[in-house]
Amino acid sequence: MLDGYGREIDYLRVSVTDRCNLRCRYCMPATGVKQKSHEEILRLEEIVSLLEVAVGLGFKRVRFTGGEPLVRKNFSYLVARTASLPGIEDLALTTNGTLLAEQAAELRRAGLKRVNISLDTLDGEKFARLTRGGNLERVKEGVAAALRYKLEPVKLNVVITRGFNEDEIEAFAALTRQEPVHVRFIELMPLGQATELNGFLPATEVLARLEQSVPLEPAAVPGNGPARYYRLAGGKGTIGFIAAISQCFCARCNRLRLTADGKLRPCLESEHEVDVRGPLRAGATREELAALFRAAVAAKPARHRLGRRTPRQDARAMWQIGG
């Protein structure tokens, strides 16, 4: 489907839950997270019905995210149902990796193709501090399981923040020498607990710092996103940069989001949403639901305004939207 700016929108990011077993400081508040009731969250069958509509409209690529998707009961059932939809070419997952070791085999069997694992530090103590209690070893086991079960390309998402993990840029890059992992440095966005952008470090600066210590060659990695990739000479993996703020890539945007509570979200940043849960539960036909998808695609703005305006304190955060 083409949007109002001639962009082909064929990639749906589906948030399957607003719950999470971690509390990353830039994402979730320590306390007082008001989660939706079970009734407000889409049931798995409802997500499948909406995916059927999306596939009928030409969506070919799906990513499950959250919250933490792997805390959702029967998640592999959703993966299996989605994988069996005709026309799905790519089926991916974004996860914090803590529950991946025990689920990777089942997810692979269900038809999941690949995973992105979020990991911002390689230091166990810093990891526990950032995530308010998370265990880095569990994530490492998750990464190993992703490689073992060939959920590839395995991408590691690293949000770089000044004063927290900027000293680990080289260590993350070094991971790509021996392992076929694709490390992606991501700019902190003014969402959730990061509304003030304290600690923002532009991706260009991360790249410049890395280039000072090691030579990098351009590389290519399959995916649906805007990362620019490089490789260490002889490295098995790659190093990518995602500059959502400093070099907005909205002109190439190809995605629509479905939140866990059943809203289509045309843009990560804009608060505009199209409700599909209400109509679905009220018995809307497939054609009526398709019209809502078309309306959401038509409502996509030319570009986000992150970094150009004061973020609203009441705006929905990544764990609510589906990062």
Q: In the complex, which residues of this chain contact ligand SAM (CB under 6 A)? A: 20, 26-27, 65-66, 68, 94-96, 118, 157, 159, 186, 188-189, 191-192, 194, 318-319, 323
Task: Look at residue 14 and give the partner it binds from ligand SF4, ligand SAM, none, a contact being a CB closer than 5 to 8 Å depending on partner kind.
Answer: none
Min. distance of Cβ 238 from ligand SAM in angstroms? 17
Record the tokens describing residue 216, joined without a space: 């990098």
Helix axes 286-298, 44-56, angle to 10 degrees: 70
Half-sphere exposure of 169 (CA within 13 A, CB side): 25
CA distance 199 to 166: 10
Tell how far CA 148 is from the center of its chain. Answer: 22
Task: Look at residue 157 and give the partner it binds from ligand SF4, ligand SAM, none, a contact being a CB closer than 5 to 8 Å depending on partner kind.
Answer: ligand SAM
14, 20, 119, 264: which one binds ligand SF4 (CB under 6 A): 20
Min. distance of Cβ 132 from ligand SF4 in angstroms? 9
15 lines the binding site for ligand SF4 (CB under 6 A): no
Where would I find the H helices in the chain?
A: 44-56, 75-83, 100-110, 124-131, 136-148, 169-178, 203-213, 277-281, 286-298, 318-321
Q: Name residue 239's beta-bridge partners.
A: 183, 230
Task: Look at residue 159 and give the partner it binds from ligand SAM, ligand SF4, none, a contact being a CB closer than 5 to 8 Å depending on partner kind.
Answer: ligand SAM
Tell me which residue of 129, 103, 1, 120 sits closest to 53, measured CA to CA.
Answer: 1
Task: Look at residue 189 and give the partner it binds from ligand SF4, ligand SAM, none, a contact being a CB closer than 5 to 8 Å depending on partner kind.
Answer: ligand SAM
Min. distance of Cβ 318 from ligand SF4 in angstroms? 6
23, 72, 255, 300: which one binds ligand SF4 (CB under 6 A): 23
Min. distance of Cβ 118 from ligand SAM in angstroms? 3
311 lines the binding site for ligand SF4 (CB under 6 A): no
Task: Give CA torsion, residues 313, 272, 10, 58, to 10 deg.
Answer: 150
* Contact assessment for residue 214 and residue 173, using Cβ atoms and an 8 Å cutoff: yes
Task: Look at residue 186 and give the partner it binds from ligand SAM, ligand SF4, none, a contact being a CB closer than 5 to 8 Å depending on partner kind.
Answer: ligand SAM
* Site for ligand SF4, rule CB under 6 A: 20, 22-24, 27-28, 66-68, 96, 118, 318-319
